[in-house]
Structure 1
Amino acid sequence: MNRDLHDDEGMATVEYALVTVAAAGFAGLLVVILKSDAVREMLVGVLRGALGG
């Protein structure tokens, strides 16, 4: 079998894997940020303002 040096077979799989790892890292960062009291209070204030409470 003659393989071309520029064969990009499997590249989509690698790209999906990298995006998945990046998304998991971003989700972990969001969890850490949202656990802080200051951010939680700000979000509750925004929700109360949006709901008219």
Structure 2
Amino acid sequence: MRRRGELRRLSGDAGMATAEYAIALLAACGFAGLLMGILRSGEVKGMLLGIVRDALSI
């Protein structure tokens, strides 16, 4: 039991999963911001509105 604790302490990976989650969260937030900027543009908004209107008119 003592040896397992020593190996865990020597591995140096403590907190790696948390750091990986933080990086993934930052990347997801950046992607969401970029997507919101694209979706708010006039051309994309018009295209999406056209798609919805066509779908509802059938």
TM-score range, shorter chain: 0.7 to 0.9
Q: Kindly name which structure, 1 or 2, has the bigger radius of gyration based on alpha carbons.
A: 2
- Which residue of 14, 31, 34 maps to 2:39? 34
d(CA) in 1 for partners of 2:51, 2:32: 21
Q: Counterpart in 1 of 2:3?
A: none
Structure 1: 4+ residue segments shifted above 6 A = none
TM-score calculated relative to the size of structure 1: 0.81
d(CA) in 1 for partners of 2:57, 2:24: 39
- The alignment-based identity, stated in percent, is 53
Q: Counterpart in 1 of 2:13?
A: 8
Structure 2, unaligned runs of 5 or more: 1-5
Structure 1, unaligned runs of 5 or more: none
Q: Counterpart in 2 of 1:52?
A: 57
TM-score calculated relative to the size of structure 2: 0.75
d(CA) in 1 for partners of 2:31, 2:47: 20
- Which residue of 16, 22, 26 maps to 1:17? 22
Higher-helix-fraction structure: 2
